[in-house]
A and B are shown apart, each in its own frame.
Chain A
Amino acid sequence: MDKHIVFQVANSKYAINATYIQSIEHMQKITRLPGAPHFVKGVMNIRGVILPVIDLCAQFGLGESQFTPDTRIIILSKDDISAGIIIDSTDTVIEIDTSVLQPFSNERLEDKFIEGLALTDQGTIVVLDVAQILGAESQQLDTQKGA
């Protein structure tokens, strides 16, 4: 059982393993990064460190995030790669047994970000694959080069 943080993006519930979460931040000024992929909103100053900020909504192909007072930035970090993701609101913390996740596959490209589905008493929660989210930028470059 691993501790996961549950949050909302575009009215769906997602969860991320707490091991990879460095902190949860309030929204603050994002500096636009010309030339970055469309889902990278820009960069942000997180206590003296400049980190890219990813719009999860855009990355999942669900349009752009609308910022509200509940909007938060979750700082993810895995294998020396760090970035923030924009989420609509945080929900709760639950224990999820990742060994019994229900596979989720559909034809959409964005599904690679999903590790599997957790069926909990709070409903179905999509567990995200942090490595895929943090690696999306380089993969996008690959597909561009391949095209």
Chain B
Amino acid sequence: MALSRRSTRPRSTLLLLVLASVTVITLGYRGGHSGWLAGARNLARDAFAPLQSAITAVLRPVGSFLEGAASYGSLQAENARLRRQLTSLRATAAQSQLYQRQDAELHRLDHLTFAPTIPVEAVADVIAGSPSNFQDTVELDKGLDAGIKTGMPVVSGSGLVGRVVEVSSSRATVALVTDPSSNTGVRYGSAGLVALATGQGEGKPLQVSLVQPGTPKSQLFAHELMVTSGGTGDLYPPGIPVGTVAGATLPPGALQEDVTLTPEVRPGQLQYVSVLAWTPPPGAP
């Protein structure tokens, strides 16, 4: 009897936890972005914020050092003293390169060549990526306290990064243009033709759906820049560079070209970004 009770206990626990998970999923769906579960999300982000910042601050110079060290090639023949000296120089050089890169990034953010009429709400540091392989997001070190709101576009010096999808008092989550759920209205060519760029995940080009019924050949040229269209109901203001055309092929029998776009921004190399003081019009998807 005691043995039977012991063997059924894990199953009861499993059942209880599965029911709890399903309940939480249901409550999350009903509450949307405003329920108490959304509050719990914000609380968790704020609670982890100092730890995240500390780990990022400690590990970023280490990463830069390793990056710098790797670029020097093989130095196996050097003696121990020279190696120590070299290691020290590498660290200095890597640190210097890091500072130069940061400085250049900040300079570009201060002098954005696009969206000149839209003020910058905040310049933020990218401190973390997504814990999941099924979404492409980054975490910023600023949130509501810095004036950041859900829906605001996020840009780097070279173009569109994505948009804010979650914000707590000290953190903001940005869904990148490469996220599979991300759809960006884009414009290209001298005639200002409109298309839709959809993310396919990190490291992959954007898939472009051309919005031109009856014209299978788009007359796109390689490396043509596509910018946000900024149409009515769009998620972004017009004129922000999204990416350049990587390829355009017309599969046999297809009515539309298969167009891919290389994003202007490489999410893996992001450090500083600007959050623009612009929110999509009510009713935008």
Is chain B a partner of chain A in the same complex? no
Q: Which residues of B contact A (CB under 8 A)?
A: none
